[in-house]
A = this chain, B = another copy of it.
């Protein structure tokens, strides 16, 4: 019988219990006091290094993720600096009703790794988390950190704002596209350009690679000078072509960040997360305010015309 207390579960997860880890992630998804307790405990440990993998559906993200797992496991270290011997993967699909480890469609491919004790794969949806997936994911990443994972791959499906938000909260963000991306990604170019640390032209055995690369370079030129100019890599994930080089690019970007920038990067992320928690908590308090005698008294006053909605709201918020 597995413990239910987050503190006990964190200890068990740290000692390698996957059941404890799974339960903690369920707490994170489900919201409530268990979520808050889990988040508070997990916050005390270092986050894993997070590689975000995003881009339009059908680009081959899952196959690429699968290949990256293999590359990472074969190296057994993060560019030689931080040795690690396990990989965690979060698959985020807000549109999917499945959760708790259910792996869908192309992701079944990844299941080849799922029986490997050094790999932990989890699909995430949100059921009751206070702030939805964009807050549940950072919590989940810290839980993975508490379970002694030093690396997490976060794969998102779709190119909605939330998916881009989640992927771009990574330390290194990969934007995966295919030759001829212009047609399918035109509308999302701007947003994806901003978050990409590395562009991956996957399915690079197809026609149009040169044009796609040229388009990307031109857009990067227009973007002006920046400390890290996003790299552009070509892969054929189905046969592993270019995936070693892709991992080396991730390692290079990590080295760039570690050169004094990681702290600042994570401070920005911390700030963004705190803002989201504040907004979610404020919403939740407001929804509590609308029950009770004080609220009804203000409604009475409004109906009687002795106050106005702004004064009434101010009174309620000030007394909460």
Residues of A within 8 A of B (CB): 36, 39-40, 42-45, 130, 138, 263, 266-267, 270-271, 273-275, 277-279, 281-283, 285-286, 289-290, 295, 298-299, 302-303, 305, 307-314, 316-317
Q: A44 to chain B: which residues have CB within 8 Å?
A: 305, 308
Report A311 CB to chain B, min CB distance, Å. Answer: 6
* Cβ contact within 8 Å between B40 and A308: yes
Q: A42 to chain B: which residues have CB within 8 Å?
A: 308
Closest to A290 in B: B275
Q: A271 to chain B: which residues have CB within 8 Å?
A: 299
Closest to A296 in B: B271
A44 to B298, CA, bound (A): 15
Given A281-B313, A282-B286; 6 other pairs, CB 8 A cutoff: A36-B310, A138-B309, A263-B303, A271-B299, A277-B313, A281-B310
Closest to A42 in B: B308
* Cβ contact within 8 Å between B270 and A317: no
Q: A314 to chain B: which residues have CB within 8 Å?
A: 281
B45, B278, B289, B307: which contacts A278 (Cβ < 8 A)? Answer: B289
A267 to B302, CA, bound (A): 9
- Complex copy number for this chain: 2
A303 to B267, CA, bound (A): 6
Report A102 CB to chain B, min CB distance, Å. Answer: 28
B283, B299, B305: which contacts A274 (Cβ < 8 A)? Answer: B299
Q: A279 to chain B: which residues have CB within 8 Å?
A: 283, 286
Q: What are 20 contact pairs spanning A and B, CB under 8 A?
A: A36-B310, A40-B311, A43-B302, A43-B305, A43-B307, A43-B308, A44-B305, A130-B310, A138-B309, A266-B303, A267-B303, A270-B302, A270-B303, A270-B309, A274-B290, A274-B312, A278-B289, A281-B313, A281-B314, A282-B285
Q: A316 to chain B: which residues have CB within 8 Å?
A: 278
Report A176 CB to chain B, min CB distance, Å. Answer: 29
Report A20 CB to chain B, min CB distance, Å. Answer: 19
Q: A138 to chain B: which residues have CB within 8 Å?
A: 309
A307 to B274, CA, bound (A): 11
B267, B278, B305, B309: which contacts A286 (Cβ < 8 A)? Answer: B278
B40, B270, B308, B317: which contacts A299 (Cβ < 8 A)? Answer: B270
Closest to A138 in B: B309
Closest to A314 in B: B281
Report A274 CB to chain B, min CB distance, Å. Answer: 5
A270 to B303, CA, bound (A): 7
Closest to A298 in B: B274
A275 to B42, CA, bound (A): 35
A294 to B282, CA, bound (A): 17
Q: A267 to chain B: which residues have CB within 8 Å?
A: 299, 303
Closest to A270 in B: B302
A65 to B65, CA, bound (A): 58
Q: A303 to chain B: which residues have CB within 8 Å?
A: 263, 266-267, 270
A313 to B273, CA, bound (A): 10
